[in-house]
């Protein structure tokens, strides 16, 4: 009876909501289709796209010698690069400065989703909030654009919403159908309901008890750092002078004739790589610095109140077997009210995110508390037969969301999930807030405001339908040509095609011959990932200037597996050194900086702390005796510790070859006091941590277990076992 009432009530509310939303959606769709038509027609007058990508050195020279720019953008995240692309395609003389690397901040640390925001639609309907509705509508339109503008970097992803209470089924079904309806003709695929058995068939890791069924809806997913870089490279091809590692030190101002007002007319900046300082003049300066919005606003006016409300979002990466290859999971109501996504990405599994207040920093660090919160929520949705282990966290990162309060609104305490464009008395344009998905619309609104404020001569926005770097000649079967024409492994070819699009051929051309029968070309940086050495050479052409750029944004190794990234670092540094003429001291500095980045910002510290911060050994006596016996097989001299020589001796006895550098790495993972040897106590701590799930994938533990089993099989059978023989 209660269930029937719930269904009737939900249907009644849902019917009214659908009718309301349908009317709004139809009107909005007509308006946007008309606007899109105007934009497509206007795009025909866009500047010519260059075939040649300028070097960073050429870009720095252009910034110094090109005279006054129409538009100067500060910030190389998605929004800043979007502003530069929008301005350049309108024919405006454009410059962009980023003090670190493109996408080095929040834009590379997202949930990797291109979405409209299901929960915001819920608020819009429940509170009859038209602004929230408009925000979702715009995001869904931009979602469709983003998927079309860079199809090699993005794709639709089905996301499952498991239902554990009967009354939630009609409730969530109405909400998800409204989401489809608001998307209108740009709906990726229609959502649908699954029975319990079908849900478990598609997502076998799901918790079975009390499961009623599931609803599946579609959003987009992308490689966020590569997408950001594609926007920056496209802007450069349209003539924008874009430079990473160019830090703005202060704003330049001039006194306006007649009014006597102080007006921003450029910036004084420093080339971080060379230390050289210079001025860049511009009619209009745009502040698109995300979490650092207020620091640039205070360069303009020290007295302005802060509008940025920084919020930390932590994500973790786990092995791919935790989720199906092509099905995500949404937990709409966690234990503390936050939303958790559990998504397949780059053959791994991403889980996140948290939402907690934080200070603005260039180096956000994931905390153990946030990692454990995410793991706890994941355990709630996965079956009891799936052991969710702390040791399976391969990487973790924190991104700072630049939520803002609108300084022009009456209620200054209200935090806007939408974007805000403001113009200061001195003419500084600030774009803040918003989300990854709507970067293009944010850029459009910003450049529109800049044109109006500074009387710039330019037409309407031309980025709707504009294809980004790598998209022009890409097709889903492009990787086959890479395999056939260059002799690349199929997995490597698919990776190159989905990362570089039609530029993958340029990477393949510089790939080294392996000397093997197959693959013919393409030496991997690490065996378990499809990244090849040629990508490092190509990454330098894409403005990579540090080892961190390469492991985190040109490739995504740091975001996928911190240990694999650390293993690849020496070779990456060697290749970059050759391309950029680094001396031995520079190579050493790059290696140390990259290791520090992995240790703190990518979760290596919290991973290693699972062993170093816990000295207790919680093993039963029988296990302790078993592990001591295994340890003594290596410690023949009863020293109480084992060294590389001990391990080599045992491996040779079972005919296993392993180079000394690899053995050193394996022992170093367990050598807590870093004295070059592994004591018995350290080994027991390792085995205890493995049993508790805090550590997984220990090469030393697997190696010692395998060696023990091999030696046991090789032991001679005693005569008494055979009955005395003949």
Condensed to tens digits (0 to 9), the pLDDT of residues 307-366 reads 998 899 999 999 999 999 999 999 887 766 678 899 999 999 999 888 888 899 999 999
Has residue 423 got a pLDDT over 80?
Answer: yes
Distance between CA atoms of 690 and 720, rounded to whole angstroms? Answer: 38
Contact, 189 vs 147, CB < 8 A? Answer: no
Any idea which residue has 């300066």 for tokens?
285
The per-residue pLDDT for 4 is 41
The per-residue pLDDT for 574 is 98
Question: Looking at the DSSP assignment, which residues form a beta bridge with residue 328?
Answer: 159
The per-residue pLDDT for 586 is 97
Q: Please give the residue that has the higher pLDDT: either 9 or 672.
A: 672
Q: 42-56, 60-74, 663-677 — which one is most confidently predicted on average? A: 60-74
Any idea which residue has 């493109």 for tokens?
102
The per-residue pLDDT for 454 is 96
Q: Please give the residue that has the higher pLDDT: either 719 or 49.
A: 49
The per-residue pLDDT for 638 is 83
Percent of the chain with pLDDT strictly greater than 90: 63
The per-residue pLDDT for 681 is 80
Question: Looking at the DSSP assignment, which residues form a beta bridge with residue 76?
Answer: none
Main-chain phi, psi angles of 124, to 5 degrees: -60, -40
The per-residue pLDDT for 418 is 81
Main-chain phi, psi angles of 472, to 5 degrees: -60, -50
In tens, the pLDDT along 457-495 reads 999 999 999 999 999 999 999 999 999 999 999 999 999
Any idea which residue has 């910030």 for tokens?
75
Distance between CA atoms of 631 and 330, rounded to whole angstroms? Answer: 45
- List, in sequence order, the alpha helices (H) in 44-129: 56-65, 78-89, 118-126
Q: Please give the residue that has the higher pLDDT: either 52 or 6.
A: 52
Average of pLDDT values for 164-177? 91
Average of pLDDT values for 96-116? 96
CA distances from 317 to 77, 138, 650 (A): 22, 30, 35
Average of pLDDT values for 685-711? 79
The per-residue pLDDT for 12 is 39
Q: Using 50, 70 and 90 to split pLDDT, how confident is the model at 82?
A: very high
In tens, the pLDDT along 111-143 reads 999 998 877 777 767 767 777 788 889 999 999
In tens, the pLDDT along 10-51 reads 443 444 444 444 444 444 443 444 444 344 433 455 688 889
- The radius of gyration of the chain's CA atoms, rounded to the nearest angstrom, is 28
Q: Which residues of 175-189 are buried (b: 16+ CB within 10 A; e: fewer)?
A: bbbbbbbbbbebbbe
Q: Using 50, 70 and 90 to split pLDDT, how confident is the model at 301?
A: very high
The per-residue pLDDT for 652 is 81
SS3 content of the chain, % helix, strand, coil (to 5): 50, 20, 35
Contact, 454 vs 426, CB < 8 A? Answer: no
Question: Looking at the DSSP assignment, which residues form a beta bridge with residue 158?
Answer: 218
In tens, the pLDDT along 500-515 reads 999 999 999 999 999 9
Among the residue ranges 202-211, 377-386, 548-557, 698-707, the one predicted with the least confidence is 698-707
Q: Using 50, 70 and 90 to split pLDDT, how confident is the model at 611?
A: low
Q: Using 50, 70 and 90 to split pLDDT, how confident is the model at 593?
A: very high
The per-residue pLDDT for 260 is 81
In tens, the pLDDT along 229-280 reads 999 999 999 999 999 999 999 999 999 887 788 999 999 999 999 999 999 9
For 272-279, the CB contacts below 8 A with 24+ separation are 272/99, 272/245, 272/246, 272/247, 273/245, 273/545, 277/249, 278/63, 278/64, 279/252
Structure token pair of residue 408: 């022009």
Q: Using 50, 70 and 90 to split pLDDT, how confident is the model at 714?
A: low
CB contact set of 635 (below 8 Å; sequence gap of 6+) = 641, 642, 646, 680
In tens, the pLDDT along 513-526 reads 999 999 999 999 99
Distance between CA atoms of 222 and 115, rounded to whole angstroms? Answer: 10
The mean pLDDT of the chain is 87
Structure token pair of residue 249: 């030190």
Contact, 377 vs 335, CB < 8 A? Answer: yes
Q: Using 50, 70 and 90 to split pLDDT, how confident is the model at 581?
A: very high
């Amino acid at each position: 009876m209660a269930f029937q009432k719930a269904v009737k009530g939900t249907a009644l509310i849902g019917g009214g909501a659908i009718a309301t939303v349908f009317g709004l959606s139809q009107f909005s769709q007509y308006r946007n289709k008309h606007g899109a038509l105007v934009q497509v027609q206007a795009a025909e007058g866009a500047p010519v796209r260059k075939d040649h990508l300028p070097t960073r050195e050429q870009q720095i020279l252009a910034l110094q010698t090109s005279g006054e720019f129409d538009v100067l953008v500060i910030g190389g995240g998605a929004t800043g690069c979007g502003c530069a692309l929008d301005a350049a395609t309108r024919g405006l003389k454009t410059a962009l400065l980023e003090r670190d690397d493109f996408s080095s901040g929040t834009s590379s640390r997202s949930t990797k989703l291109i979405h409209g925001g299901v929960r915001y639609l819920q608020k819009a309907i429940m509170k009859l909030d038209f602004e929230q509705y408009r925000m979702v509508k715009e995001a869904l339109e931009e979602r469709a654009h983003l998927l079309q503008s860079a199809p090699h970097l993005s794709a639709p992803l089905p996301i499952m919403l498991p239902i554990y209470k009967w009354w939630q089924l009609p409730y969530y079904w109405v909400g998800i159908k409204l989401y489809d309806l608001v998307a209108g003709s740009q709906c990726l695929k229609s959502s649908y309901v699954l029975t319990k058995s079908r849900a478990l068939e598609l997502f076998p890791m799901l918790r079975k008890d009390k499961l009623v069924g599931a609803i599946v809806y579609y959003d987009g997913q992308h490689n966020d750092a590569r997408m950001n870089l594609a926007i920056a490279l496209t802007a450069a091809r349209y003539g924008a002078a874009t430079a990473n590692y160019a830090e703005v030190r202060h704003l330049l101002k001039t006194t306006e004739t007649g009014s006597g007002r102080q007006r921003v007319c450029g910036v004084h900046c420093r080339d971080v790589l060379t230390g050289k300082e210079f001025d860049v003049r511009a009619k209009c300066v745009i502040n698109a610095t995300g979490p650092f919005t207020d620091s640039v606003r205070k360069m303009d006016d020290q007295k302005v109140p802060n509008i940025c409300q920084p919020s930390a979002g932590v994500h973790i990466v786990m092995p791919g077997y935790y989720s199906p290859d092509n099905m995500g999971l949404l937990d709409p109501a966690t234990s503390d009210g936050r939303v958790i996504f559990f998504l397949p990405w780059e053959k791994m599994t991403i889980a996140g995110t948290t939402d907690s207040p934080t200070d603005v920093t260039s180096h956000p660090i994931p905390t153990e508390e946030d990692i454990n919160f995410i793991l706890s929520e994941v355990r709630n949705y996965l079956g009891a037969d799936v052991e969710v282990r702390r040791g399976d966290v391969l990487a973790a990162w924190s991104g700072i969301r630049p939520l803002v309060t609108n300084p022009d609104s009456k209620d200054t305490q209200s935090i806007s999930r939408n974007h805000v464009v403001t113009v200061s008395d001195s003419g500084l344009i600030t774009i803040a807030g918003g989300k990854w998905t709507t970067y293009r619309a944010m850029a459009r609104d910003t450049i529109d405001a800049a044109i109006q404020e500074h009387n710039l001569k330019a037409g309407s926005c031309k980025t709707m339908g504009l294809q980004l770097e790598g998209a022009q000649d890409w097709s889903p079967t492009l990787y086959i040509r890479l395999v056939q024409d260059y002799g690349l492994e199929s997995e490597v070819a698919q990776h190159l095609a989905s990362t570089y699009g039609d530029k993958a051929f340029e990477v393949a051309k510089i790939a080294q011959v392996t000397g093997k029968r197959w693959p013919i070309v393409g030496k991997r940086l690490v065996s378990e990932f499809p990244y090849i050495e040629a990508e490092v050479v190509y990454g330098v052409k894409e403005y990579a200037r540090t080892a961190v750029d390469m492991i985190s944004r040109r490739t995504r190794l740091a975001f996928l597996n911190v240990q694999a990234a650390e293993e690849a670092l020496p070779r990456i540094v060697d290749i970059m050194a050759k391309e950029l003429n680094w001396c031995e001291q520079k190579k050493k500095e790059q290696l140390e900086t990259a290791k520090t980045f992995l240790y703190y910002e990518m979760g290596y510290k919290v991973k290693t702390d699972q062993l170093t911060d816990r000295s207790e050994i919680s093993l039963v006596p029988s296990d302790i005796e078993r592990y001591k016996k295994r340890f003594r097989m290596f410690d023949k001299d009863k020293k109480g510790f084992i060294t590389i020589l001990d391990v080599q001796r045992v491996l040779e006895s079972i005919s296993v070859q392993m180079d000394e550098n690899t053995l050193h790495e394996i022992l170093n993972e367990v050598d807590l006091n870093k004295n070059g040897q592994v004591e018995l106590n350290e080994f027991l701590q390792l085995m205890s941590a493995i049993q508790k799930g805090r550590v997984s994938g220990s090469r030393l533990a697997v190696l010692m277990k395998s060696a023990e089993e091999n030696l046991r099989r090789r032991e001679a059978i005693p005569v008494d076992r055979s009955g005395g023989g003949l």
